[in-house]
Amino acid sequence: MTKPLDGRTALITGANQGLGLAIARAFVEAGASVMICARDADLLEKARAELSGLASPGQTIIARAADVSRQDEVDALALAALETFPQLHILVNNAGVYGPMGLVEDVDWMAWVRAIEINLFGSILMCRALLPHFKARRYGKIIQLSGGGATNPLPRLSAYAASKAAIVRFAESLALEVKDDGIDVNAIAPGALNTRMMDELIAAGPKVVGQAFFERMKRIADEGGTPLAEGAALAVFLASAASDGITAKLLSAVWDPWPRLPDHRADLARTDIYTLRRVTPADRGLDWGDK
């Protein structure tokens, strides 16, 4: 039986643990060859070994340590990926951090900047490095990892929230730039994941992240959180031919009927469904918003 990613190749950042590793695992099981990258070389090698154990003959699994916020390392990573996979089809920008937690005037400013560098600039640098390749092939899949910060304010996590909202707007903007080049650009909201980043939130405590948010995250963690497999399955769909032509969307792995989206390509193309937009009074049934 043909697998959805048979013959496809992907570069996945932040893939040595958590959701990134789950996406890489799902890609390999779906038939893809992958290059994974992350900053921690030891964890990365363990991830590569695990993925190699899942691969079938003909699939290639490679790993390269890199910091996606550094342009020189990104350029070297892209070059290595294209040397191994001359027909590279997919880029998954998963690398990310929560950044500093606390009131914006109290947190370490350089840590705030660092979160933007990794979460936002890192994904933009990766896109810049690979867009000439995708354009030359007139095909490509770019998948951005968003999060709750894109669609909801997150007080005391302002760097994370700002970067995630920016990532989605960047994906929407880039999708329009490359709409005639056969490149689809989409963002995934994977849900509240019980990963290392969740552990960091809980360890910070209610005095740092706020009592209500802490209690919510603690409850989600105790219940197990959203399964990593849900976000990974959506990533497989967006990386496959089944999603060709679906672009400039922010999709929830948990709430949106993404397996059925190919049946609604026309509606998706002509509307702003699944996008970031301003809410007006009329959108909420009020009549005082007109000039």
pLDDT class for 135, splitting at 50, 70, 90?
Answer: very high
Reported confidence tier of residue 257, pLDDT bands at 50, 70, 90: very high
pLDDT digits (tens, 9 = 90+) for 205-227: 888 888 887 888 788 778 777 88
Residue 194 pLDDT: 66
Q: What is the mean pLDDT of residues 18-24?
A: 96
Work out the burial of residue 152: count CB atoms within 10 Å of its CB; fewer than 13 is exposed, 13-18 middle, 19 or more buried: exposed
Selected residue with higher pLDDT from 52 and 190: 52
Cα separation, 29 vs 24, in Å, equals 9
Inform me whether the pLDDT recorded for 15 exceeds 70: yes
Q: Is 262 exposed, middle or buried (0-12, 13-18, 19+ CB in 10 A)?
A: middle
Contact 275, 248 (CB under 8 A): yes
Range of weakest confidence among 72-81, 237-246, 248-257: 248-257
How many Cα neighbours within 13 Å face the side chain of 52?
9
Per-residue pLDDT at 248 exceeds 90:
yes
Continuous segment of H or E residues that includes residue 257: none
Query: 9-191+226-276: which CATH topology?
Result: Rossmann fold (3.40.50)
Q: Which helix (H) or strand (E) holds 185?
A: strand 183-189
Write down the pLDDT at residue 222. 80
Global pTM?
0.93
* pLDDT of 89 strictly over 80: yes
Under the banding of pLDDT at 50, 70 and 90, the label for residue 197 is low
Q: CB of 12 within 8 A of CB of 94?
A: yes
